[in-house]
Protein backbone atom coordinates (compact mmCIF):
# COMPACT_ATOMS: atom_id res chain seq x y z
CA UNK A 1 0.00 0.00 0.00
CA UNK A 2 1.24 3.49 -0.82
CA UNK A 3 0.70 6.18 1.84
CA UNK A 4 1.35 9.83 1.01
CA UNK A 5 1.60 12.56 3.63
CA UNK A 6 2.05 16.32 3.27
CA UNK A 7 5.34 17.98 4.20
CA UNK A 8 3.51 21.08 5.47
CA UNK A 9 2.13 19.28 8.55
CA UNK A 10 3.93 20.62 11.61
CA UNK A 11 4.72 17.14 12.99
CA UNK A 12 5.44 15.41 9.67
CA UNK A 13 8.49 13.53 11.00
CA UNK A 14 6.57 12.15 13.97
CA UNK A 15 3.70 11.14 11.66
CA UNK A 16 6.08 9.40 9.26
CA UNK A 17 7.76 7.44 12.08
CA UNK A 18 4.44 6.30 13.56
CA UNK A 19 3.09 5.27 10.15
CA UNK A 20 6.30 3.37 9.39
CA UNK A 21 6.03 1.55 12.70
CA UNK A 22 2.33 0.72 12.20
CA UNK A 23 2.74 -0.29 8.53
CA UNK A 24 6.29 -1.61 8.04
CA UNK A 25 5.59 -3.25 4.66
CA UNK A 26 4.00 -0.16 3.09
CA UNK A 27 5.63 2.73 1.24
CA UNK A 28 5.32 6.09 3.01
CA UNK A 29 6.23 9.17 0.98
CA UNK A 30 6.30 12.82 1.98
CA UNK A 31 4.90 14.97 -0.83
CA UNK A 32 4.96 18.72 -1.23
CA UNK A 33 1.19 18.68 -1.86
CA UNK A 34 -1.55 16.04 -1.61
CA UNK A 35 -4.40 18.42 -2.55
CA UNK A 36 -5.83 18.87 0.93
CA UNK A 37 -5.19 22.58 1.15
CA UNK A 38 -5.14 24.23 4.57
CA UNK A 39 -6.08 21.00 6.39
CA UNK A 40 -2.57 19.59 6.16
CA UNK A 41 -1.04 22.34 8.30
CA UNK A 42 -3.50 21.90 11.17
CA UNK A 43 -4.13 18.17 11.41
CA UNK A 44 -2.67 14.87 10.21
CA UNK A 45 -3.82 13.96 6.72
CA UNK A 46 -2.87 11.20 4.29
CA UNK A 47 -3.70 9.94 0.85
CA UNK A 48 -4.08 6.15 0.70
CA UNK A 49 -5.19 4.25 -2.41
CA UNK A 50 -6.38 7.53 -3.91
CA UNK A 51 -8.59 8.30 -0.88
CA UNK A 52 -7.97 11.38 1.24
CA UNK A 53 -8.05 10.72 4.97
CA UNK A 54 -8.02 13.27 7.79
CA UNK A 55 -8.14 12.99 11.57
CA UNK A 56 -7.67 15.18 14.62
CA UNK A 57 -4.82 13.08 16.03
CA UNK A 58 -2.08 10.88 14.58
CA UNK A 59 -3.41 7.78 16.35
CA UNK A 60 -6.88 8.29 14.87
CA UNK A 61 -5.35 8.69 11.39
CA UNK A 62 -3.49 5.39 11.79
CA UNK A 63 -6.76 3.70 12.81
CA UNK A 64 -8.50 5.05 9.71
CA UNK A 65 -5.68 3.91 7.44
CA UNK A 66 -5.79 0.47 9.07
CA UNK A 67 -9.51 0.17 8.25
CA UNK A 68 -8.81 0.49 4.51
Mean pLDDT, 10 residues at a time, the chain of 68 residues = 89 91 90 84 89 92 88
**Residues whose CB falls within 8 Å of the CB of residue 59, separated by 6 or more in sequence, listed in order:** 18
Residue ranges of domains in the chain: 2-67
Instruction: Provide the whole-model pTM.
Output: 0.84
pLDDT confidence of residue 42:
86
pLDDT confidence of residue 14:
92
The helix (H) or strand (E) run that includes residue 66 is helix 58-67
pLDDT confidence of residue 57:
92
pLDDT confidence of residue 60:
93
pLDDT confidence of residue 18:
92
* Contact between residue 10 and residue 45 where contact means Cβ atoms under 8 Å apart: no
CA angle 28, 38, 44 (to 5 degrees): 35
Q: Mention the CATH class of domain 2-67.
A: alpha beta
Amino acid sequence: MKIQICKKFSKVNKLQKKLAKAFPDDTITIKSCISMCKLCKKQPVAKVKGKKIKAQRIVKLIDKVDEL
